Chains A and B, each alone.
Chain A
């Protein structure tokens, strides 16, 4: 039985198609996912992301504990700023990708994926044991609502006096939004400008209603996980379970830059990852654009045109609204960038290899 978010009633009223995602009952789409995708690219979309986990790490050594527990240099993050990072096991394999917000000098919020946060909380608790720091999984208490798109700032600006102009990408601040206390962060997973609002679960419905009303003149519509997935795919952002998994190191995914060997002290995974930093992985994550109309999907083999040798595997794929063609991310043997096809249920469909991302917003 899937768990509902605090906004389940809203989704049902809106006639959403609900789906199980990582044990949560989530809105897949409200109407047409293409319309929702395009609204985020051109105006704004409103997302319920309450399935994400919020784990608080507090105490005088909270920063040092996270330096040890994660691959990033978290103690160097300024209060009010955030960092994209990962938690790996001792072999350097990715357990989850995370965003860590430094809320105060001795208070951090670790945002983990829905499918992983119980494990992340347990690992953090274990890894923080020898530090003067406390780990508290508060995922149940929080709802997360995102406003994403080029009109997001104008919409949020209708509801708060907070200095949104001064809020940089990957920064967060406590603010009053529509009369309710929220942590407002300039982060997202769509490739557009936008904000994520962490609020107590009880405030989710009134905040959603206020955002819906304020956003209407700007073209804001609710958007589901289907649009979120195609938006992040166009933006070349990895999804845990697809591009990232316990079978991959951060280097495999082309995200070796998040591993900070320059930070002081040991960290979980350092010994395993250090030898890998100058070794090109055998496969690398690339973008594929299909020349036909059939969609390469998760798990489909990447093959050499003609011979049919398998040289890779698709991790995510979808029709792209912005490009007008099917796109995919795939792990492909190093050095291969031409003459490739994807085996789409037995038929080899030609693809072009491109660097990620597929879509970059105009500044």
Chain B
């Protein structure tokens, strides 16, 4: 089981969020735990830059050999950048979930609610495994 980085926050939908403490723009990806559960990721669809989204919206999808899952906006805001590299090479979601496998950056509007700490996410995933 891969370790859960201490410097990120998480959602119940198995996304990670970076940069919550240091500004308005957040980077979003899916966790190694989720990538492992999906299997080999073959397709990633991310929202277009400029899209305005609300927290909880399904904004994209990640597809593996066996299944497809929605990607949710963890906060409300505007998509300001998408990771074209992961669109071109979806296997980065598996091989570098917390690095080059990031999905999009969002400029937050309002507050980030209901995010999980690393400890809370660890508890969530150990309950599921």
Contacts and interface: CB of A to CB of B under 8 A. Distances in A.
- To the question of whether A and B form a pair in one complex, the answer is yes
Interface of A: 17, 28-29, 32-34, 226, 230, 293-295, 297, 318-319, 326, 345
Interface string B39-78: 1101101000000000000000101011010000000000
Nearest to A32: B40
Contacts of A295: 42-43, 63, 68
11 contacts: A17-B36, A28-B39, A28-B66, A33-B65, A33-B66, A34-B65, A294-B45, A295-B42, A295-B43, A295-B68, A318-B65
B39 A29 contact: yes
Contact of A294 (B43, B65, B66): B43
B40 A34 contact: yes
Given A33-B40, A293-B43, A319 B68 contact: no
A293 B43 CA distance: 7
Mostly, the A contact residues are mixed
A33 B38 CA distance: 11
Interface in B24-42: 36, 39-40, 42
B43 A297 contact: no
A293 B86 CA distance: 14
Interface size class of B (residues with CB under 8 A): 10 to 19
A323 to B, nearest CB: 12
Contacts of B42: 293, 295, 319, 326
Given A319-B63, A326-B42, 5 more contacts: A28-B66, A32-B94, A33-B39, A33-B65, A294-B43
The 8 A-B pairs of least Cβ separation, nearest first, read: A319-B42, A34-B40, A293-B43, A33-B65, A32-B40, A33-B39, A33-B40, A226-B66
B64 to A, nearest CB: 8
A32 B63 CA distance: 15
Contacts of B43: 293-295, 319
A315 to B, nearest CB: 16
Contacts of B45: 294
A339 to B, nearest CB: 24
A294 B40 contact: no
Contacts of A29: 39
Contacts of B36: 17
Contacts of A318: 65-66
Contacts of A230: 65
B89 to A, nearest CB: 12
Contacts of B40: 32-34
A322 to B, nearest CB: 13
B63 A226 contact: no
Interface string B72-99: 0000000000000000000000100000
B39 A294 contact: no
B39 A297 contact: no
Nearest to B45: A294
Contact of A226 (B39, B61, B68): B39
A137 to B, nearest CB: 31
B75 to A, nearest CB: 24
A298 to B, nearest CB: 11
A297 B39 CA distance: 16
B57 to A, nearest CB: 15
A195 B70 CA distance: 40
A319 B61 CA distance: 15
Nearest to B36: A17
Contacts of B61: 345
A226 B38 CA distance: 11
B2 to A, nearest CB: 13
A295 B39 CA distance: 15
A29 B67 CA distance: 14
A297 B68 contact: yes
Contacts of A28: 39, 66
A17 B43 CA distance: 21
Nearest to B40: A34
Nearest to B66: A226
B44 to A, nearest CB: 9
A230 B42 CA distance: 13
Nearest to B42: A319
Contacts of A326: 42
